[in-house]
Amino acid sequence: MTPRTAARALRAAARDLAARLDGAASAWEVGLDEAVPVAFLAAGPDAERFLFRDPTDGHTRAGLGSVPSAPGGTCYLLRPFDTGPQPTWGGATRTWTPALELDGAPGRWRLRASPDADPDQIQAWLHRLADAPPAAAPTPFPDVESRQDQPDQAGWARAVEAALEDIRGGRRTKLVLARQSRFNLAAPADPIRLFERLMAAAPECIHYLWSPRPGQALLGATPEWLYRRDGRTVTSEAIAGTRPRHRNPAEDARLAEELQRHAKDRLEHEIVVRDIQEVLAPLCRRFEADDAPSLLALAQRFHLATRFRGDLRDGVGDSDLLAALHPTPAVGGAPRQGAEDRIARLEDRPRGWYAGNIGWIAPDRARVAVAIRCGWLDGASLRVFAGAGVVDGSDPDAEWLEVENKIGDFVKALAPG
């Protein structure tokens, strides 16, 4: 499939759906064989945009506009890390249904309009998509003029040492601390273009984008599912423990082996495994977990990963899963009680959408990711968020470098070219 072929298929589908809506108000969707979801968003109107891509099978939901979600229907989900005061890059939990959606995977797509949307608005949007000209050659991406890290390395070291004091004093076993790096660009950046570059920098990850208005967006590439549900079967995972990748194959293999053997990383990982087992197993009539962590190899880093699978008990739904699982010690702390307040004091700024949840929920399926490795773009300002788990044996300088590696996907996306 070429972008030009996919664009033609989208224009034809938009014309088809517009004609069907003119003739029969009950015909709300059409099929198409080829589509590029980011191109669908780029060609659409200046409305709220959302995209969520599952790397397992390429399934993607891309939505334009919003209408209130109906009980028992399909909805998009955006949830902050906590319920405390929110910054401009945060807000209250939201669920909504797109007014117009492209939904599917390579070879099987549906262009769907919500029956609850304004039909005149939908027609206008479809005609815009049908008449969209071929995409023009992209202009150069804005250069990065400056960068500020909050906290700086000295402030980060103080926060890590305070967390270690809690651990040595027996008040907790793990605390995840995060920092933000603010990149000031030479000109306002297009969120869709930055998102495409981020997808290319981290191809194996779950990709997500939410743009409430032109020039502003939450976007990220996370390796971590909060959970996936297919019918009554649920899967989740613990991802903790990190090493950078290396261009030299021998050194790359050494780093992978070191991660799998290192006591500090295995402890950090085991804390998350125990927590998820404790909260998820009671919700399942059948539950199982991997016997040992496996190696998750991403483009720029390795992680330790343990997967969980279960069949939900009768009466257990998505609201129960969301309440039980979030926040795991992969983004919060252990024990959970008091961890959010301690994080808020040590980080000295609210996390907002960072480390919250993003995805979609339908009656028969759900896909909800942990919103890490993300950025908040607002015109020419990009805030990038990442964190590291502090446990007994952590070193402030090593944790700083780990976060720097996690920010690397955005650094690569912002590189000239």
Average pLDDT in the 131-156 region? 88
Spatial separation of the C-alpha atoms in residues 262 and 295, rounded to whole Å: 13
| pLDDT reported for residue 129 | 85
pLDDT digits (tens, 9 = 90+) for 399-413: 999 999 999 999 999
Please tell me which residue, 35 or 62, carries the higher pLDDT value: 62
Query: Which among 39, 58, 66, 82 is positioned nearest to 371, based on CA atoms?
Result: 82
Distances (CA, A) of 348 to 135, 177, 327, 354: 43, 11, 19, 14
pLDDT digits (tens, 9 = 90+) for 87-110: 888 889 999 999 999 999 988 899
Query: Which among 263, 271, 266 is positioned nearest to 173, based on CA atoms?
Result: 271
Q: Are 399 and 177 in contact (CB under 8 A)?
A: yes
Residue 27 predicted with pLDDT over 90: no
Q: What percent of the chain has pLDDT over 70?
A: 96
Residue 364 predicted with pLDDT over 70: yes
Average pLDDT along the chain: 92
Spatial separation of the C-alpha atoms in residues 354 and 90, rounded to whole Å: 8
Q: What is the DSSP letter of 296?
A: E
* Residue showing tokens 């197993």: 281
Residue 65 predicted with pLDDT over 60: yes
Spatial separation of the C-alpha atoms in residues 296 and 242, rounded to whole Å: 10
| pLDDT reported for residue 1 | 53
| pLDDT reported for residue 349 | 86
Residue 24 predicted with pLDDT over 60: no
Residue 22 predicted with pLDDT over 70: no
Spatial separation of the C-alpha atoms in residues 211 and 76, rounded to whole Å: 13
Residue 128 predicted with pLDDT over 80: yes
Q: Are 239 and 316 in contact (CB under 8 A)?
A: no
Q: Provide the annotated active-site residues.
A: 174, 224
- Per the structure block, which two tokens stand in for 389? 């788990």
Please tell me which residue, 169 or 106, carries the higher pLDDT value: 169
pLDDT digits (tens, 9 = 90+) for 380-399: 999 999 999 999 999 999 99
Average pLDDT in the 237-256 region? 94
Spatial separation of the C-alpha atoms in residues 197 and 204, rounded to whole Å: 13
pLDDT bin (cut points 50, 70, 90) of residue 417 is low
Q: Are 6 and 39 in contact (CB under 8 A)?
A: yes
Spatial separation of the C-alpha atoms in residues 192 and 388, rounded to whole Å: 28
pLDDT digits (tens, 9 = 90+) for 267-289: 999 999 999 999 999 999 999 99
- Per the structure block, which two tokens stand in for 271? 């804390």
Q: What is the CA radius of gyration of the chain?
A: 22
- Per the structure block, which two tokens stand in for 85? 């005061």
| pLDDT reported for residue 71 | 82
| pLDDT reported for residue 23 | 56
Q: What is the DSSP letter of 283?
A: G
> What is the model's pTM?
0.94
